[in-house]
A and B are shown apart, each in its own frame.
Chain A
Amino acid sequence: MAALGFNLIAAMVIFTAFWVVTTSKLIHAAVALMGTLFGVAGLYVYLYADFLAATQVIIYVGGILVLIIFGVMLTHRVSGIDTLQTNMPNRPAAAVVVFLLFMGLTALLFRTPWHMADAAPVVSTVEIIGAALLTRYLLHFEVASVLLLVALLGAAYLARREDG
């Protein structure tokens, strides 16, 4: 049951991701990306990363994806159907290169003797992450917050109208 669920989620991730990069309609791509992001959130659940799964859904799906759809809408005056997206003429070369990369990485994956620690999964991660963020990774946490602030200001500055 669990294996079936994992396989389904994996298939969905791969399929939607494929759709994201191949469809010529930006809105479709955005919707497909939502599927991918949800799938990844599901994968996190299987990895016992409950907090991360929630964050993935809230930030990615609820934030970034909305942002992307806004971007699509803003840059196409007519929202909807005609937001066609054509690909570069280098598709064959890119496809070959990426396929070779895929083959290489897969070969690497199977050739490498992965070391697996036999550790019990952590049941609840929220407590540990919260403690770690405010103790061990406090500096990183603060830097990230400053980064967000800067990004916010920068984005606002860049996007505002010249005359406004």
Chain B
Amino acid sequence: MDIRLQFALLILLLPLASFVLQIFFGKRLGPRAVWISVATAFFTLFLAGSMLLSVALGAPMEYYPEAEWFSLGEFGLTVGFGLDNLALAMLVVVALISALVHLYSVEYMRGDIRYNRYFGYLGLFTFSMNGIVLAHSLIMMYMFWELVGLSSYLLIGHWFEKESAANASKKAFLVNRVGDIGMFIGIMIIWYVTGDVTFQGMYDNVNVDKANMFAGQMGLLSVAGGLIFMGAVGKSAQFPLHIWLPDAMEGPTPVSALIHAATMVAAGVYLTVRLFPVLTPDALLFVASIGAITALLGALTAMTQFDIKRVLAYSTISQLGYMIMAVGLGAQQAAFFHLSTHAMFKGLLFLCSGSVIHALHHALAHKNDHETDPQDMRNMGGLAGKMPITYATMFIGALAISGVPLFSGFLSKDAILAGTLAFAQENPAWWANLFPIAGFAAAAITAFYMFRLIFMTFHGKPADAAVHEHVHESPLVMTGPLVLLAALSFAMFFTLPQVNPLDSEGWFTQALPQAINLTGHESLDVEHLEHGWHDAHDSAVRLSLGVAGGGIALAVLFYLLKLVNMAALAGAMKRIGFYQLSFNKFYVDEIYNALIYRPFLWLTRVITWIDWTFWDQWFIDGIGRNTVRASNRSGWLDFVWLDQFLIDGIGRLTQRLGHTGRKLQGGKVQNYLVWAVAGAMLVFFISGSM
């Protein structure tokens, strides 16, 4: 067996083994057994990391082992791995965050009633996520895609005794289903169009046939791309299916870091990147539009939220929108770059918020206060001195996401913004300018709300001095991952051996060569695009530095120095209606309620009325009533005439005959003799013999 295949199998199956162990033997093994899961996660990270290292130092990997799963006549399916540089990079991201979250959870979840099961679910999630990354075909990816949905459901609903958690897990699952149905239909269409579902086969077929076959089926391919992208919309929480992600924050915070910040929600982006070569220009434009809307909407909503995790959730939605937009604009390498860096710093931010919540929760518990929400930023403040490591690492995370030079976020965000600028330059249409505008606006808002979060949490006066007294820094197993992730949020980790903080050239971009769009569009030509990015790079750097600085400066003014009367500002914003819009998350849930649930309920009532009143009561019961009437009439006929007269008459006749005839059968042989002779005589007379 090839060593690469062995590694891939181990990476896939080790988390599954951890899941099986914790689910089936967790109770017997006790809470110390979770260290086995942690060890498994770290071993998986070691395997994935060593593979990526070999690629980064040597030749790129293109290894696609597959085996037949089943075949039905001409129709057949294969299972296999798609091991290339993209998969390896994604694998390392997943394994890294997963391992750190495992470690972090040992402390964070200590004392939980389903401690072992929690780690089992983490294993299941990691297994599924690795499956998505390693899948060599859309079908295989779809299967793990659903498994990821399941484990996400299980983890969000980990504290299912809480009704909001149970509802959130249901909501997440159902909203994801909506996207997944589209994805499945899309897979079927793409199978029909390209004749293959393995990525390599799909690329080949599209490449070979683009000249003739797709001339007529370009539209169908666009539809397929759009539908598969629906899966990504669901998983990556893109508008309009983003509503589940903020609610998913009901899950344990490490889960939010792992699933709802770094990996699962990135699966949609990963899928879109994988699919990029076969997406048509129309589909790409659709993808980019969705991404731009989401980026802006998420950022705007994040501005006014008070729940620390919700701020991060909307921030995640916004950043995912960024990535999706980048893929749609052809900058899929930048998108994946941002995915990787974002996984680090967003995982870091979530774990930091978890650390804060954990500390606050314990402080509140110390005070026997179970009413105050430990996630509400208004209950925090002034924690910087109490939790220096958390503060420092979270500050680094905020700098990274805001796009400050030296940090990884700057490089990846800059690459995306350069992509939007290049697209706007290449595309003469007026709406092409909307993409860079949305991108830069979102970047500015991101910087603003991140520092709003930092200042509200760590600076200013403590909301409750008594609680503040009891806040302590988290233990090493929690701060360790924070420090590691903070270190990885520095730009140089992605650009080695380069150290220029303004240039993203490095091992990462070299390991991930720009993919070629195969559907044949001039503006999506690789050389063309690279040229455009190169030109746009300088202006993008300048602009993004400006907007990031502006956003941070505003946050400093508003929340650190408090030079602006916040109440007056909020009032002014309320007057123009913006504040409510943002605070109520742009009423998306309410719009769904009004446009989908309510009409649906109304439709249900109408259908119920038709079904019950009209169909059941009037028609069915009417038939019933008429049948009863007819039956009564028929019953009368049947009873009086048929039964009483005819049947009973025959009966009576027979009875009378029987009474008479009984005398013939008196048991007296001599009587029988008389009748026997009479019978014989009758025969004789009739036959004429006598």
Contact = CB atoms under 8 A, between A and B. Distances in A.
A65 B677 CA distance: 28
Contacts of A97: 674, 677-678, 681
A104 to B, nearest CB: 4
Interface size on A, as a range, is 10 to 19
Interface in A96-115: 97-98, 100-101, 104-105, 107-108
B690 A107 contact: yes
Nearest to A105: B690
A108 to B, nearest CB: 5
A120 interface: no
Q: Max chain A CB contacts within 10 Å: which of B670, B674, B684?
A: B674
A104 B671 contact: no
Interface string B668-690: 10110010011001001100011
A93 interface: yes
B684 A104 contact: yes
Contacts of A104: 681, 684-685, 690
A88 interface: yes
A39 B681 CA distance: 29
A146 interface: no
Contacts of A90: 668, 670-671, 674
Contacts of B690: 104-105, 107-108
A94 B674 contact: yes
A97 B675 CA distance: 8
Where chain B touches its partner, the secondary structure class is helix
A79 B341 CA distance: 139
Contacts, number: 28
Where chain A touches its partner, the secondary structure class is helix
Nearest to B678: A97
A18 B678 CA distance: 21
Contacts of A100: 678, 681
Nearest to A97: B678
Contacts of A93: 674, 678
A101 B681 contact: yes
Given A88-B668, A101-B681, A108 B689 contact: yes
Contacts of B674: 90, 93-94, 97
A155 to B, nearest CB: 21
A90 B667 CA distance: 13
Contacts of A101: 677, 681
Q: Max chain B CB contacts within 10 Å: which of A88, A90, A98?
A: A90
A88 B689 CA distance: 31
Interface string B370-384: 000000000000000
Nearest to A87: B670
Contacts of B689: 108
A98 B681 CA distance: 10
Nearest to B682: A100
A88 B684 CA distance: 26
Contacts of B685: 104
B664 to A, nearest CB: 10
A13 to B, nearest CB: 22
Nearest to B684: A104
Interface string A24-66: 0000000000000000000000000000000000000000000
A90 B676 CA distance: 14
A88 B666 CA distance: 12
B617 to A, nearest CB: 71
> Which 3 pairs, one residue from A and one from B, show the smallest C-beta to C-beta distance?
A104-B690, A97-B678, A94-B674
Interface of A: 88, 90, 93-94, 97-98, 100-101, 104-105, 107-108
24 contacts: A88-B670, A88-B671, A90-B668, A90-B670, A90-B671, A93-B674, A93-B678, A94-B670, A94-B674, A97-B674, A97-B677, A97-B678, A97-B681, A98-B677, A100-B678, A101-B677, A104-B681, A104-B684, A104-B685, A104-B690, A105-B690, A107-B690, A108-B689, A108-B690
Given A105-B690, A108-B690, 16 more contacts: A88-B668, A88-B670, A88-B671, A90-B668, A90-B670, A90-B671, A90-B674, A93-B678, A94-B674, A97-B674, A97-B677, A98-B677, A101-B681, A104-B685, A104-B690, A108-B689
